[in-house]
Amino acid sequence: MEKKIIKIIIVGAGASGFAAASKLISNGFENVTILEAENRIGGRVHTIDFGANVLDMGAQWCHGESGNVVYEMAKDKNLLSSNVPTYKTFNFVRSNGEEIPAEISERLTKLAMGILDRNDREREKRAYHGSLGNYFAQRFYEAFRTPEYSDIDSILQHEAFDWFHRMRTSWIACDLWYDVSCGNYLEYCECPGNMMLNWKEKGYRTVFDLLQNKIPSGGSDSIDVESKVLLNKEVSKITYDQTTTEADRIKIKCSDGSEHSCDHLICTVSLGVLKKNYRKMFEPSLPDYKVDSIEGIGFGTVDKIYVEFTKPFWNEEWEGVSFLWKPEEMAAIREDPINGEWMSSIIGFYPVSFQPNILCGWITGQAARKMEQVNDNDLKTGVNHVLKLFLKEWNGAEVKNTIGSKWSSNPHFNGSFSYYSLRSDTDDASTSNLATPIYDANKKPIIQFGGEATNTHFYSTVHGAVGSGWREAQRLIDSYCK
């Protein structure tokens, strides 16, 4: 079968789907169609125009340099810059407005980050049969029984513990770090280099121009992937036949009633979508090893709350504020019938690069899902309430606009990104099992799986998603080049 007439459908026009399409097209596979459920391309990369520039509602940073395929595409094109804040030091403020001295904040941060460092006591972590949260608690409170930390009282210890819990859930996308496998936590690999590289004034959507070789513009080797995308095509059913090698052996139905067929399908929907829909989405049913991985790997919610002020109350060196809750203020705020369930879970607010009047707040898990349900006015009211508690220098600065991301309540994502849960330990769930294709009788892949959750060491990242798309495209290319 010639490359040009092989029909390939990719489900999802996010980073993985785009990467797969660009590689296939550049290798002579021209009959490629991408079915995208949203009314836009990008997936969990969603850059919007807002304020003085743009905001990234989803993926924001190019995490690291060495080994990062996104960085490799961007590094020589003047697209990236260092970020402020660095998220390496934290200005801790209590809910009564009391600032924790910088020296104590630095010591607490050094202690916690040392415990969470994947290179710290690696063998011990891998052998630990329990959650990351339990491991952290054991090491964290052990430290306070030593003379080095004897000056930090138990109340501040608990407030800091709660904050590091909330902070780490925003990095992992778990509801609780007691759900995270301590041993498999080490499977994720950080790319050496600057972890907080931003996309200047352009946003992460730039990656889709890079995948199409459109930067610099005017190049003769550009790849038109966007013309292959059909928007508003939510896939509801995938029927496939492993026993035949005939053309169009895969049938796809969309919720708008349209039907499509192909020889090969690459599914790059989020793990959240698979978790919710895999039972009714695939016919015949997926094999048990894949079901175990879909159900066993975690997939959680991380949201942002952007706050635009009429003018900033902070200076260029300010790196934000991190919220430590005192029990009495937390109890009082939770009595709010509309906003009480989410306000006390905001991690803090931090400056946004190339947005002089905007701060970004982070919120995760069940609280994030509650935040997604409130209307714009209640979101603004809640933000004002929290800022009044923590920030003396805020002094009633006028909040012009607020906007929150809604990754969990969007049925085309059902959350933000993946992690290794405790259940993955017992179910033998793995990213590699999730990535394993379904083959036909001739050992050619007919149903393939991409997306960040299928990347062995870079899950939860855009470079992991891109790498998975290239992997599946190459798998298909190789099957025709033997």
pLDDT tens digits in sequence order for the chain, 482 residues long: 566 689 999 999 999 999 999 999 999 999 999 999 999 999 999 999 998 899 999 999 999 999 999 999 999 999 999 877 888 889 999 999 999 999 999 999 999 999 999 888 999 999 998 999 999 999 999 999 999 999 999 999 999 999 999 999 999 999 999 999 999 899 999 999 999 999 998 999 999 999 999 988 766 689 999 999 999 999 999 999 998 888 889 999 999 999 999 999 999 999 999 999 999 999 999 999 999 999 999 999 999 999 999 999 998 889 999 999 999 999 999 999 888 889 999 999 999 999 999 999 999 999 999 999 999 999 999 999 999 889 876 666 789 999 999 999 999 999 999 999 999 988 889 999 999 999 998 889 999 999 999 999 999 999 999 999 999 999 999 998 86
Closest Cα partner for 416 from 136, 131, 60? 60
Whole-angstrom distance, CA of residue 207 vs CA of residue 194: 18
Q: What does the pLDDT read at residue 400?
A: 93
Nearest residue to 137 via CA among 105, 182, 102? 182
Q: Contact at 8 Å (CB) between 296 and 66? A: no
pTM above the 0.85 mark? yes
Contact 95, 323 (CB under 8 A): yes
Distance CA 83, CA 62 (A): 10
- The closest of 256, 214, 250 to 231, measured between CA atoms, is 256
**pLDDT score recorded for residue 1:** 55
Closest CA to 68 of 185, 201, 195: 195
Amino acid, single-letter form, for residue 123: R
What pLDDT, on a 0 to 100 scale, did the predictor assign at position 21? 98
Q: Which long-range contacts (CB under 8 A, 24 or more apart) does 276-283 make?
A: 276/411, 276/414, 280/236, 280/237, 281/235, 281/236, 281/237, 281/238, 282/238, 282/240, 282/447, 283/237, 283/238, 283/239, 283/240
Do the beta carbons of residue 299 and residue 415 sit within 8 Å? yes
Q: Tell me what pLDDT residue 459 has.
A: 97
pLDDT of residue 218: 61
Pairing of strands 53-56, 348-352: unpaired
Q: Are strands 235-240 and 355-364 parallel, antiparallel or unpaired?
A: unpaired
Closest to 360 in 3D by CA, of 316, 416, 404, 425: 404
- Is it true that domain 3-46+200-299+422-479 has CATH number 1.10.10.10? no
Under DSSP, the state recorded for 207 is H
**What pLDDT is stored for residue 38 in this prediction?**
98
Using CA atoms of 317, 320, 326, 329 in order, give the dihedral in degrees to the nearest 10.
Answer: 120
In whole angstroms, give the CA distance from residue 351 to residue 294.
36
Instruction: For residues 386 and 329, give the distance between their C-alpha atoms in angstroms, rounded to a whole number.
Output: 10
Q: Given the structure tokens 């879909």, which residue do they identify?
A: 294
CB 86 within 8 A of CB 196: yes
Return residue ranges of the chain for CATH 3.50.50.60.
3-46+200-299+422-479
